[in-house]
Amino acid sequence: MLPEVARRRMVERQLRRRGVHDQRVLAAMERVPREQFVRDGDRERAYDDDPLPIGFGQTISQPLMVALICQEAAVHPGHRVLDVGAGSGYQAAVLAELGAEIHAVERIPELAAFARQNLERAGYADRVTVHVRDGTLGLPQHAPFDRIVVAAAAPRTPETLYSQLVPNGRLVVPVGPRNDQRLEVIVASPEGAAVARTVPCRFVPLVGDEGFAA
């Protein structure tokens, strides 16, 4: 099956039919070539309804989870977005398609290099900057951010990340123990952190000073 056909099928069957309603997110997911962000041996599985291994115990997230994170983040053109847990760079590419300036953080140098290679090949290198560091600590030198999205599960809301939001900014992060998580949408309201809503989910653990131990 041609990748373009597989992408359209993914959007219709895996996303739209399962509650992803943001037309901009659906269009972005249809444009980003997911096959460019998986390992060579997994290209035929790029549009499966599953996470796929990318090495070092990490995965490229299930397409539905990427779409839900992007939908809940409500990213608009001109936003500055911090993408924590860059992995292969796929979610950063989707966020870039939504018109944002992306700073992506990855703690594993080899995966950061993989993400840069994929983003360059897919045409997103001018919109995404990949940094190697502990993602739980954010990027204070580039803060504040309009949106912060996290593609790994934290044991609790990472306070340092929350502190790097603009007023009324959004932090979208899976929170909970390793096997029972919820995707939280946290708004930086004038009264403090406010959880707007939660969605059940399951992600690899967020490792770092304010996450799980390696």
- By DSSP bridging, strand 128-132 and strand 145-150 are unpaired
* 61 given a catalytic annotation: yes
* Selected catalytic residue, list 61, 88, 163, 189: 61
Which residue, 51, 96, 90, 94, is CA-closest to 77?
A: 96
> CA 99, 141, 144 angle in degrees (round to 5)?
50
End-to-end CA distance of the chain: 39
Tokens of 124: 């997103």
Query: How far apart are alpha carbons 91 and 204 in whole angstroms?
Result: 15
DSSP state of 176: S
Catalytic residues: 61
